Amino acid sequence: MIQVNPEDYAGIGTREAYGRVLLEIGRRNKNVVLVGADCVGSVRGATFAGEFPERTINFGIAEQNMVAAAAGLAVSGKIPVVSTFAMLMTLRACEFVRNDLGYANTNVKLVATAGGLSFCYGGSTHHALEDLAIVRTMPNLTIIVPADGFEVAKALVAAVEHVGPVYMRLGRGGEPDVYTEDYDFSIGKAVTMREGNDVTLIALGNTVRMALQAADQLAGQGHQARVLNMHTVKPIDREAVLKAAAETGRIVTIEEHTVVGGLGGAVAEVTSNECPVLVRRLGVPDVFCGTGSMDDMFCRIGIMPDQITESALELVRK
């Protein structure tokens, strides 16, 4: 069992944390194999590759082959951890993720970096704003989006121990810390970051910190917002969603992803069937985002803390 401590992953962001914990996992489990596509260094797999070159396979710019071969490695008893950029993992290799991982239910761990708008100046071709919607439709896949470096470490340990295909989405680094203390990470179980009964803010990944800031702003105006870190998009924590719906009556979802088919859609699917409440989905509207700094684009799509606060207030006033 790997002991993951918050101080060991403080201030390093999601991508650096992934490289650090992968090395520790590899030292303890000889079946773990790193599989890449001409970007092992960029996704922070270089330290693993340096210590375990015999367990590192670089396929070059051949993402489909990479995923297909990873499925073969899994069938042979290995635990492949496959890394490349999110838009390549889910778009270029989509058919192979669906058939060789989902349909075959193979024990492969996909770790996709540059998720969401983190490849900000790369433009729309390099943004990954559809990835969660794509993999969420595939049976058997577990989907995890950690909020900071510490949660990445906890999540990757859990993902490697989990039997079955996993898709984990990371940023490009520099994400602020959300957690300062240890907590029990469990796949499929949301983390309550703030208690409140006036409105619920449900976020994941890089937007958890903004939801927390919005909750502080709301508290300053006399409204107590519940904040849920829905780090697992699939299987979603139905119990936490329904409890929030019943107890607060209003939900705002915040995601660095298109509002079509992502976290907001998953939450709305749960509430509409069992506890209909107002659900405001904040994220990328049905558009391409162009280029700019991350804060500029976050502001453009309405997920900065003050914008989250205003959306929550609109629901509270109703």
SS3 220: helix
Among 24, 51, 63, 269, the active-site one is 63
d(CA 77, CA 63): 21
Residue indicated by tokens 């490009």: 172
Nearest CA to 187 out of 158, 149, 218, 153 is that of 158
| Encoded tokens for 17 | 């944390």
What domains appear along the chain, each with residue ranges and CATH number? 6-169 (3.40.50.970), 191-317 (3.40.50.920)
| pTM of the entire predicted model | 0.96
Per-residue pLDDT of the chain (318 residues), as tens digits, is 688 888 989 999 999 999 999 999 999 999 999 999 887 767 778 899 899 999 999 998 899 999 999 999 999 999 999 999 999 999 999 999 999 999 999 999 999 999 999 888 888 888 999 999 999 999 999 999 999 999 999 999 999 999 999 999 999 888 899 999 999 999 999 999 999 999 999 999 999 999 999 999 999 999 999 999 999 999 999 999 999 999 999 999 999 999 999 999 999 999 998 999 999 999 999 999 889 898 999 999 999 999 999 999 999 998
Question: Radius of gyration over alpha carbons of the chain, in Å?
Answer: 19
Q: Give every CB contact of residue 162 below 8 A, 6+ residues apart in sequence.
A: 142, 187
Is 195 marked active-site? no
